[in-house]
Amino acid sequence: MEQTELVKPETLDELIKTLHQIFQSDRINVEEVQNLMESYESKPHEWRKYAKFDQYRYTRNLVDEGNDKFNLMILCWGEGHGSSIHDHTNSHCFMKLLQGHLKETLFQWPDGKSQGDMVTKSQRVLQENKVAYINDSIGLHRVENVSHTECAVSLHLYSPPFETCQTFDQRTGHKNTVKMTFWSKHGERTPFETTVSQENN
């Protein structure tokens, strides 16, 4: 298994190029991807065109389709915006803070028998430029911008790409499959046909 020597990407485009190289291989070295993404220092002018906010909920803005090996997207979180508790459909998920802060709460998978509130495992606030990693074997999470005054922007990489995931009711553990949608692709707003059960994940 080859490991690409870590050269710090100076720009977002360089990061994307290096990601394409790494993901040519079928095996992913989680630490390598995490270090690479963390070493890119966020420069707002490089990603500003993808950072489209919605007043009422967070948005997913596709940046790169990764040769179908991964999807790279930018999520924009207004004040108080948060996600549901969700899984990652057997994929790797990397999340880097480009601006602001996000709170990540980890949950245990609900087991078939238990009713009542889902169990929290841990909670942390991610700082700018840091990268968090999760997959289904680690657990489920909820991500929120808890600031009432600042928005947050995060860069997400999912491999392999996925279009649906499960969302969970914190108070009962019941799950729901939802289709995920993009607010924009490659910097262009992409309105879709209205569906009710959609999650901007």
Q: Name the site residues for another protein (rule: CB under 8 A).
A: 55-58, 79-80, 82-85, 142, 144, 146-149, 167-172, 174, 176-178, 194-197, 199-200
Nearest residue (CB) to another protein, 67 versus 80:
80
Q: Shortest gap between Cβ of 87 and another protein (angstroms)?
A: 13
Q: Does 141 count as an annotated binding residue?
A: yes
Nearest residue (CB) to another protein, 48 versus 174:
174
Q: Do residues 100 and 77 lie in contact, with contact meaning Cβ atoms separated by under 8 Å?
A: yes
Nearest residue (CB) to another protein, 103 versus 130:
103
Nearest residue (CB) to another protein, 79 versus 136:
79
Q: Shortest gap between Cβ of 144 and another protein (angstroms)?
A: 6
| Rounded Cα gap, residues 69 and 160, in angstroms | 5
Assign 3-class secondary structure to the chain. CCCCCCCCCCCHHHHHHHHHHHCCCCCCCHHHHHHHHHHCCCCHHHHHHHCCCCCCCCEEEEEECHHHCCEEEEEEECCCCECCEECCCCCEEEEEEEECCEEEEEECCCCCCCCCCCCEEEEEEECCCCEEEECCCCCEEEEECCCCCCCEEEEEEEECCCCEEEEECCCCCCEEEEEECCCEECCEECCCCCCCCEECC
Q: Shortest gap between Cβ of 67 and another protein (angstroms)?
A: 30
Q: Shortest gap between Cβ of 58 and another protein (angstroms)?
A: 8
Nearest residue (CB) to another protein, 28 versus 151:
151
Q: Which of 52, 57, 68, 64 is nearest to 144 (CA)?
A: 57
Q: Which residue has the tokens 């808890």?
A: 146
Q: Shortest gap between Cβ of 73 and another protein (angstroms)?
A: 16
As annotated, the binding site includes 86, 88, 141
As annotated, the binding site for Fe cation includes 86, 88, 141
